[in-house]
A and B are shown apart, each in its own frame.
Chain A
Amino acid sequence: MKTKVVACLAVVVFLVFALGFQASAQDKKPIVIGFIHSMSGAMSMYGISSEAGAKIAVEEINAAGGILGRPLKMITRDDKLNPEVGLREAKDLLLSEKADFLTGTISSAVAMAVSNYAKREKKLFFISIAQSTAITEENFHRYVFRIDTNNVPYFGYGPALALAKTHKDKKIISLGFDYECGKNALAMFKEKYFELVPDAKVIDEMWAPLNTTDFTPYITKIANSGAEAFYLACIYGGGELAFTKQAYAFGLYDKMHALQACVGDVETFHKVRPGEPYPKGALTTCRYPFYALADPRNKAFVEKHNKMVGFYPSYGAMNEYLIRYAVKAAAEKVGAFDTEKIITALEGMSIDTFFGKVPIRAYDHQAMMPTWYGFVDFSKEYPFPHIPKPLGMLGEESYHTIDQIKKIRGGK
């Protein structure tokens, strides 16, 4: 009898010990993050910067004990700006590497492909740069989140609000690249700006062929148009550099107000030095004015990023950083790393950023990431043109409202 009891106890003790041990081993299994970005090619600067932002968060979180005691492990893949490659990498990350969730992509086409796949596999996908509203509006699903701005604040409502809050110009002339992005940008700009400044009008719309590098006749026309401000619709990257150079040489920035989206971000003009052509005094927006944020966590982040890759962080880097902390907060709130529960926790949650709390809208899983606005200038601290003194921050008012999205989704 006694031996039986002892044997039973021994078995129980062994089982408890074994199971307990197994459970703790389970706890130590890393949470795998699949990071898909353009690590080579035209947009690799964003990919490299975003990866650095992501790595900084992973290192910090792991040093502080991981998420629910589990360390984070990140695997980087290059999508080569190609949706097929991005999809293949996403499949490999989820199937072979058993990734728990995915983040990334600058290309909206890649983001769309990965998003559709994540929906099928019921795994979380966080967008950190891609701006196409379609992903969170028409093609929205439960498993996609965007911790980033989108096209509406970027090219449309953001610049419109900025102009309405500052110059309130009545006569505007626009120049855009002759394709969908340009037309959409101007349509969104007009929609918001006319609502805010009803007696304003766009006196002329000019459309330059994509890849135009000589804007001279457009600039002389803008200069003689009698407009109070010109607005660039979707002219960015090399086109924006060429336009700015020529407009500066023509003295256009001294003659009228300029409205150019996102010059405050470091990406396009980071090689421009004082004395060289820049969008002088232009009203612009910015998605990550790291140079103007007082939060010490921002300063530490910028330093770590610079140390890691040797240049200033893009907004993608900040977004990737914030995504990891958002997932941590959500998982800790529900006490388990469970995709469905984390989604429910993220919906309506506010994420802690370098500039206060930013809500994630439950309806479209879009974080209400702010856009700053102000005038372009140089300052003593930084060698490139930026917004030394942002005038203000645009929040939810710069996004489509839920009613607008409902209409876009056909009432669903």
Chain B
Amino acid sequence: MTFEAAAGQALSGISVGMVLFLIAAGLSIIFGTLKVLNLAHGSIYMVGGFLCYGFTSTFAHVPGIFWWTLIVAPIVVALIGGLIEIFLLRRIYAQDMLYQYILTFGLILIIGEICKFIWGVGYHTVNAPWPVNGKTFIWGLSFPVYNLFLIGCGIAIFLGILALMRYTGLGRTIRAVTFNREMANALGINVPRVYTGVFMFGCWLGGLAGTLMPPMSVVALGSDMAVIIECFIIVVIGGLGSLPGAFFGAIILGLVTAFGIYIIPKLAVAFAFMLMIVVLIIRPWGLMGKPE
């Protein structure tokens, strides 16, 4: 393996990982605080993609429409998430975990059908926006600027959330609720409101990932299921509920996939699962999670 090839696989692995981190971050944050494993998180991501296509194609004449969409679409997705939390999830927190799975699985089907109803079953594409279109050269390898932009977004979001959690009052409140719900409630924190807020924030992250994805890929039905499995692998590797876990889990998954494809392409699909199994055996709570 030449240095150029290794660098190429490393960079593309990180690129794949960062895209998945953006999706998995929301999933992990929601689980960390609400203890809800939102199976429909992939659908939330897909809605972001469809909104990106919807806005950019409807207002194609507006200059810089993609950047406006990047602000608006995730907020719309967060509002949808808010409705889901208030009207559906809130009713089943006290119930068995199984009810969460049934409810969120039902949401996958419902959201999928709604997307199909509005945007049809065709494939849609969105062009990479200026100034992050085109390609650049890294170590002699031509690499799309947009992929570098996605890597940058992943790192920025990771550091941004870490700072938010550590240094702001809001972050302290969220950490308090996550740590001990009853105690936080007793201290006068409006726990249901924090729940709604965190769920909306998780959905905002999913929607952001969905909005960022179309310029490098396609918008189509089925993209929800295509990413959700990988997101589960990431949070299992990194530790459910741990944001740094999701970040490093995503990078590990991306690199394992990329080098797997390079070295033993016939088994590439299995590598991610093998990695997950190894982690489950050695550290069932994940690399950065905490044992119960």
Contacts and interface: CB of A to CB of B under 8 A. Distances in A.
Interface in B174-226: 213, 216-218, 220, 222-223, 225-226
Nearest to A81: B121
Interface in A196-228: 204-209, 211-214, 216-221, 223-224
A305 B106 CA distance: 42
Interface string A43-59: 00100000000000000
A401 to B, nearest CB: 31
26 contacts: A42-B121, A214-B19, A214-B217, A216-B12, A217-B254, A218-B261, A219-B12, A220-B9, A220-B11, A220-B12, A220-B258, A221-B5, A221-B262, A223-B8, A223-B141, A223-B142, A224-B2, A224-B9, A238-B218, A241-B125, A245-B125, A245-B218, A246-B216, A249-B135, A250-B142, A276-B125
A54 B157 CA distance: 55
B152 to A, nearest CB: 15
Interface in A209-266: 209, 211-214, 216-221, 223-224, 237-238, 241-242, 245-246, 249-251, 255
A8 to B, nearest CB: 71
B265 A214 contact: no
Interface string B140-151: 011110110000
B226 A211 contact: yes
Interface in A245-293: 245-246, 249-251, 255, 271-272, 276
A41 interface: yes
Contacts of A42: 121-122
B269 interface: yes
B269 A178 contact: yes
B216 A214 contact: yes
Nearest to B2: A224
A176 B44 CA distance: 29
Contacts of B8: 220-221, 223-224
Interface residues of B, number: 42
B125 A205 contact: no
Interface residues of A, number: 35
Interface of A is mostly: mixed
B13 interface: yes
A192 B260 CA distance: 30
Contact of A245 (B143, B216, B262): B216
B123 A238 contact: yes
B204 to A, nearest CB: 22
A127 B223 CA distance: 32
B113 interface: no
Contacts of B19: 214
B16 A214 contact: yes
B16 A217 contact: yes
A251 B222 CA distance: 28
A130 to B, nearest CB: 19
B131 to A, nearest CB: 14
A206 B144 contact: no
B265 A204 contact: yes
Interface of A: 41-42, 45, 178, 204-209, 211-214, 216-221, 223-224, 237-238, 241-242, 245-246, 249-251, 255, 271-272, 276
A216 B151 CA distance: 13
Interface string B251-292: 000100110011001101100000000000000000000000
A45 B213 CA distance: 26
The CB with the most chain A CB atoms within 10 A, among B9, B19, B123, B223, is that of: B123
Contacts of A223: 8, 141-142
B274 to A, nearest CB: 15
Given A207-B266, A216-B12, A271 B125 contact: yes
Nearest to B137: A251
A310 B226 CA distance: 34
B259 to A, nearest CB: 8
Given A221-B8, A250-B135, 19 more contacts: A205-B265, A211-B222, A211-B225, A211-B226, A213-B217, A213-B218, A213-B220, A213-B226, A214-B217, A217-B261, A218-B261, A221-B5, A224-B8, A241-B123, A246-B217, A249-B147, A251-B135, A271-B125, A276-B127
Nearest to A251: B142
The CB with the most chain A CB atoms within 10 A, among B11, B15, B121, B217, is that of: B217
Contacts of A207: 265-266, 268-269
Contacts of B9: 217, 220-221, 224
A230 to B, nearest CB: 13
A178 B121 CA distance: 22
Given A42-B122, A246-B144, A221 B222 contact: no
